[in-house]
Amino acid sequence: MKKTIFLLFLTVCSVVIGQNNLTVASTASLTIADEGGVYVSGDFINSVTLGNADVTDIYMSEDSEAALHTGSGYFAGDVVVSSDARLKANIVSLGTTLARLLLIDGKSYTMKKSGEQKIGVLAQDIQKVFPELVVVDQNEILAVNYQGLVPVLINAMKEQDAKISKLEMMVEKLISDKE
């Protein structure tokens, strides 16, 4: 059985459930399920902080354009992204990607704020050849969808494999012609 609490026209309120604090503003609905799930809907400050180690799942609707901001993300398990063909429309092969991929250079760099040494790519470089893999945040900082580079790399590898196979056949022919 779910219990729903409606918070109507509140400027700011704090709802405490166990060790979890949730701050919301304006009109909101908070649903607490008996199995322990917390569901929130309504108009908010646009941030939610969940504060204990017992929180194992956080859900955001796909069309909410919500973003999760962290300094670094650490995962003990796998990062899994929905990729079911039934969720997609206008599916078209990327085709050849090797030439565009070769325009991108992997970099080693130091983060200005933390001084940490990193390896990656520059969003500006990616934006020139694969603009759909770059997003701009509210502060006009560019970010790269690294997961989106996987299909680019797959197609580039296929191109390289085809070139290698062709070269192998040419070498075999040269060797057999020489004998």
For 67-113, the pLDDT digits (tens) are 666 666 766 777 788 899 999 999 999 999 999 999 999 999 999 98
Interval 51-64 mean pLDDT? 62
Angle subtended at Cα 133 by Cα 127 and Cα 135, rounded to the nearest 5 degrees: 80
pLDDT at residue 55 in the model:
62
- Rounded Cα distance between 99 and 103, Å, is 7
For 174, the enclosing helix (H) or strand (E) is: helix 149-178
Three-state SS for 23?
strand
- Per-residue DSSP letter, 7: E
Domain ranges within the chain, ordered by starting residue: 2-64, 94-178
**3-56 pLDDT, tens digit each:** 444 433 333 444 444 444 444 444 455 555 545 555 555 544 555 555 556 666
pLDDT at residue 119 in the model:
97
| Residue 71 identity (one-letter amino acid) | G
Pull the structure tokens for residue 129.
Answer: 């050849």
pLDDT at residue 75 in the model:
67
Note the pTM of the prediction, 2 decimals.
0.63
Parallel/antiparallel/unpaired status of strands 38-42 and 20-33: antiparallel
pLDDT at residue 25 in the model:
42
Q: Tell me the β-bridge partners of 119.
A: 108
Query: Where does residue 46 fall: left (phi above 0), alpha (psi -120 to 50 degrees), or beta otherwise?
Result: left
